């Protein structure tokens, strides 16, 4: 067991990124100390087994730390700064972010040195992984990282450097691995490993609460383009106009399309058919799964190629015995087996989505069949205990 690791994230804790905490938890047995480095501080509980959370506010310049590393090795400092900035130069916005983050990345190296941290893991392949890269160069340490979704597809000009220099690159779907292999063919393909965050199948399980008469659709996610919520609302309007008695329970977390989604709901006259929910405890979320008839998340590819990998909510809903309706986008078909555990339609097609939902509304035995198959599929393929064992095995394999 090594002494200490720094888990590098953008913000901590994050209600929409519980899977990151699950990954950190999976690795914790390998280290006596588990530190978290974050740029932004959110409210919420911090697991007691985390040694310490170190925050690096974006407004801090950390001039003393910059001078420390500059005078320690001027050539290394200047060359590394130039290397990182040139790697982000293809997009002005990315370069600006890198410039703002640079003092924080260097100070993170100083903290890692003082804390005796031996290893870094970036939990996203953008700034967290770049930070791990900078620390590894300044301290001559190794680093690994995880790539999920938008950090692979949306404005990540430094990704090639991350892939080239990291010891291990974890990603959550075979789709992502194929994309990385085809986009960066000269990178060592063997160190890109697929894993899953997994689901706590003891917590996420089917309920015995009787269903209400009204057919309940459940959807959960941040209000962003790639979730496809506009398509869901249009499909809901189609169902209502067709006389299908449906109600949407919508756990809608804040996101950049929030105003558009609320306006669309109003314009379509859906407010009386939607129960809007905010952030919930995990126990409450389990109850939502257990009291719904179907889970719907019509994922799509957003602007600039932004997309999900496998949304964790799909895995959770399946574990709770819900048939899922989603789309043929990204890694979703790896989690929803069409015509076996749920139904898949083409993205951005409200009529097709409404048809799939109506099919499950009309056929209770099919819902039960898909729901039972979904639960078994998760138990066999996404049990968190097994997934955690794989992460530990991979970290040990690559001498992390």
Question: What digits encode the pLDDT tens for the residues 157-178?
Answer: 899 999 999 999 999 999 999 9
Whether 43 maps to a domain, the answer reads: yes
Is it the case that residue 11 has pLDDT exceeding 90?
yes
Whether 205 maps to a domain, the answer reads: no
Task: Let me know if 379 is exposed, middle or buried by CB neighbors in 10 A (0-12, 13-18, 19+).
Answer: middle
**Does the CA dihedral 209-214-215-217 come out positive or negative?**
negative
Domain that holds residue 332: 215-381
Report the chain's mean pLDDT, rounded to a whole number. 94
Examine the domain organization and report whether 364 and 388 are in the same domain: no
Is it the case that residue 302 has pLDDT exceeding 60?
yes
Examine the domain organization and report whether 164 and 306 are in the same domain: no
Average pLDDT over residues 30-38: 95
Examine the domain organization and report whether 153 and 279 are in the same domain: no
Instruction: Assign residue 340 the CATH number of its domain.
Output: 3.40.50.2000
Note the pLDDT of residue 204.
Answer: 97
Note the pLDDT of residue 19.
Answer: 85
Note the pLDDT of residue 303.
Answer: 84
Examine the domain organization and report whether 190 and 230 are in the same domain: no
**Does the CA dihedral 71-75-80-83 come out positive or negative?**
positive
Average pLDDT over residues 356-369: 97
User: How far is it, in rounded angstroms, from Cα 336 to Cα 220?
Assistant: 16
Contact 202, 234 (CB under 8 A): no
Examine the domain organization and report whether 194 and 247 are in the same domain: no
Examine the domain organization and report whether 159 and 271 are in the same domain: no
Average pLDDT over residues 136-156: 92
Note the pLDDT of residue 211.
Answer: 61
Examine the domain organization and report whether 193 and 228 are in the same domain: no
Task: Let me know if 44 is exposed, middle or buried by CB neighbors in 10 A (0-12, 13-18, 19+).
Answer: exposed
Note the pLDDT of residue 1.
Answer: 58
Average pLDDT over residues 97-122: 97
Whether 206 maps to a domain, the answer reads: no
Question: What digits encode the pLDDT tens for the residues 247-277?
Answer: 999 999 999 999 999 999 999 999 999 999 9
Q: How many domains does the chain have?
A: 2
Examine the domain organization and report whether 347 and 391 are in the same domain: no
Average pLDDT over residues 175-190: 94
Examine the domain organization and report whether 174 and 241 are in the same domain: no
Examine the domain organization and report whether 49 and 132 are in the same domain: yes
Average pLDDT over residues 305-332: 96
Is it the case that residue 243 has pLDDT exceeding 90?
yes
């Amino acid at each position: 067991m090594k002494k200490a690791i720094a888990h590098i994230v953008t913000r901590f804790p994050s209600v929409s990124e519980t899977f990151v905490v699950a990954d950190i938890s999976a690795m914790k047995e390998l280290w006596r100390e588990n530190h978290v480095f974050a740029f932004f501080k959110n409210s919420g509980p911090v697991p007691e087994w985390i040694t310490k959370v170190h925050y690096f506010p974006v407004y801090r310049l950390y001039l003393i730390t910059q001078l420390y590393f500059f005078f320690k090795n001027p050539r290394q400092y200047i060359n590394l700064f130039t290397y990182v900035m040139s790697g982000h130069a293809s997009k002005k916005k990315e370069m600006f972010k890198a410039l703002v983050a640079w003092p924080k990345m260097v100070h993170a190296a100083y903290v890692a040195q003082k804390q005796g941290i031996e290893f870094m893991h970036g939990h996203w392949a953008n700034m967290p992984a770049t930070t791990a890269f900078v620390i590894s160069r300044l301290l001559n340490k190794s680093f690994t990282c995880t790539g999920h979704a938008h950090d692979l597809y949306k404005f990540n000009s430094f990704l090639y450097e991350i892939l080239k220099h990291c010891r291990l690159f974890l990603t959550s779907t075979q789709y992502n691995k194929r994309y990385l292999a085809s986009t960066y063919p000269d990178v060592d393909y063997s160190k890109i490993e697929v894993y899953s965050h997994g689901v706590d199948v003891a917590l996420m399980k089917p309920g015995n609460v009787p269903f209400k008469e009204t057919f309940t659709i459940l959807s959960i996610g941040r209000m962003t383009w790639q979730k496809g919520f506009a398509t869901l609302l249009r499909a809901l309007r189609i169902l209502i106009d067709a006389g299908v008695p449906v109600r949407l329970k919508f756990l809608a977390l804040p996101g950049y399309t929030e105003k558009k989604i609320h306006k669309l709901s109003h314009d379509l006259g859906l407010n009386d058919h939607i129960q809007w929910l905010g952030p919930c405890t995990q126990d409450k979320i389990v109850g939502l799964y257990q009291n719904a008839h179907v889970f719907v998340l019509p994922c799509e590819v957003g602007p600039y190629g932004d997309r999900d990998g496998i949304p964790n909510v799909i895995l959770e809903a399946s574990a709770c015995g819900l048939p899922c309706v989603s789309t043929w986008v990204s890694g979703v078909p790896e989690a929803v087996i069409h015509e076996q555990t749920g139904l898949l339609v083409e993205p951005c097609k409200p009529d097709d989505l409404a048809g799939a939902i109506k099919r499950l509304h009309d056929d209770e035995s099919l819902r039960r069949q898909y729901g039972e198959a979904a639960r078994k599929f998760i138990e066999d393929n996404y049990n968190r205990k097994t997934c955690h064992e794989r992460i530990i095995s991979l970290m040990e394999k690559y001498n992390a």
